[in-house]
Amino acid sequence: MCPRSVAFVRPCNPTATSQPPVGERWVHEAKWDGWRFQIIKAAGEVRLFARSGAEWTDRLPAIAEAIAALPARSAQLDGELCLCDERGQPNFHALQGTMRSRYPD
């Protein structure tokens, strides 16, 4: 196992609202039906974390390898991990079932 020099960064918790605040200091994004994930690439390694900080790198090696192949020395991605159907629509129930398997990758 390689050394773990890359650490989880606790993300902000988004909140739902009927009307988001406005102004140049606010950022908004659509909520997808997925699992919030953080992917960090630094110091020659990639690590994947769930919103709670639980590490998923070893269970999702193909995603880690794809991020490692990106032409960037470092990156931090914070977003939704989605499993899309044939129409490109997120399928949360399929994602849950897949992520419960031993090797969901």
Active-site amino acid positions: 31
User: How are strands ordered across the β-sheet holding 35-42?
Assistant: 45-50, 35-42, 75-81
Residue 75 to residue 38: CA distance in whole angstroms: 10
The tokens for 8 are 């989880």
